[in-house]
Amino acid sequence: MASNNSRSNRTLIPEARHGLDQFKYEVASEMGMQNYDHVDKGNLSSRQNGSVGGEMVRRMVQSYEQNLK
């Protein structure tokens, strides 16, 4: 297993962290997970947490593809 120093989920641009967090909370809210920013993520299932991240990636890819057109 990879060490924590080589994790790929680091924010490459630290200034983007706030925007990514806001995006995460927006997506979670749209998926019916109210107050996601105040919920202990350890009490949520992997499926619930993963679905938020997966939807974020889908939207980012879709946005990128739209910009290519």
Tokens coding 13: 């641009």
Percent of the chain with pLDDT over 90: 55
Cβ atoms of residues 49 and 41 within 8 Å: yes
38-65 confidence digits (pLDDT tens): 888 888 889 998 999 999 999 999 999 9
Cβ atoms of residues 21 and 37 within 8 Å: yes
Residue with tokens 């979670």: 28
Its pTM stands at 0.75
3-7, 15-19, 51-55: least confidently modelled range: 3-7
Predicted pLDDT of residue 8: 67
